[in-house]
Amino acid sequence: MAQLYFYYSAMNAGKSTSLLQNAHNYKERGLAPVLFTAAIDERYGKGRIASRIGLASDAELFDDSTDFVAWVQAHGGRASIHCILIDEAQFLTVAQVNQLAAVVDDLNVPVVCYGLRTDFMGELFPGSARLLAIADKLSELKAICHCGRKATMTARLSGDGKVQQSGEQVVIGNNDVYVSLCRAHHRAALAGDHAAAKPARIIKE
């Protein structure tokens, strides 16, 4: 039976790499996965999923108006689609996560979502919260803080490199905007210790 999966992490944990590898595995076996990415994210071009290690693929776009049940039905259902792979799943609405559950339960198409669990303030994204609540399988992908501990949080940097302590939940950016931190350094950064978001300078003898 099909299942709903949610792979979550902080930034720079290889979510897109894992998604693209998963898609390759399906195609290698003669199966047809469909990739989706958020229309709001154009860092690598519109309708493009790319990883930091150079893998990339075209993808369908979703926004708040996308109805996943209707889309799958209109494109042949289980007979034509063997898996749905969703990048940037934190941008899904709660209603869309419920739709994806219906794609799994009613149309028997597996759905694998990859996304951030929390925003730069450590608050759950609504889509991620719903996935954590109803996904059949949850898996954390590991990112590393500059101190060497597991990074579970993501901090947002302003133009001068300081950690932002307020602002809109959704701002698109790469490593120049976001940094992955362990909880301790994230707490310190939000408390005003901007150095907590940066690795200590290594002095070579």
Domains of the chain, residue spans: 4-141
Sequence ranges of the binding site for Zn(2+): 145, 147, 182, 185
Residue 60 is a catalytic residue = no
CATH class of the domain comprising 4-141:
alpha beta
As given in the structure block, the two tokens for residue 54 are 């150079």
Which single residue is written with the structure tokens 């408390």?
191
- The residues facing 112 across adjacent strands are 5, 85
Nearest CA to 6 out of 140, 113, 127 is that of: 113
Give the per-residue pLDDT at 161.
74
* Residue 173 confidence (pLDDT): 61
Structure tokens at 131: 């996935």
Tokens 């310190």 found at: 188
Q: What angle do CA 133, 33, 172 make, to 5 degrees?
A: 60
**117 CB contacts (<8 Å, ≥6 apart)?**
8, 9, 10, 90, 124, 125, 128, 132, 152
- Model pTM? 0.88
Instruction: Return the pLDDT at 196.
Output: 81
Distance CA 46, CA 39 (A): 7
Helix (H) or strand (E) holding 98: helix 94-107
What pLDDT is attached to residue 44? 64
From the first residue on, what is the mean pLDDT of each consecutive set of 10 residues in the chain (205 residues)? 95 91 96 95 77 85 97 96 97 98 98 95 95 98 93 87 79 74 93 77 34
- Ramachandran angles phi, psi of 162, nearest 5°: -85, 150
Identify the pLDDT of residue 4: 98
Strand pairing partners for 23? none
Q: Which residues are annotated as a binding site for ATP?
A: 9-16, 87-90
Spot the catalytic one: 28, 42, 60, 88.
88
Which parts are annotated binding residues for substrate?
A: 170-173, 178
pLDDT at 199: 64
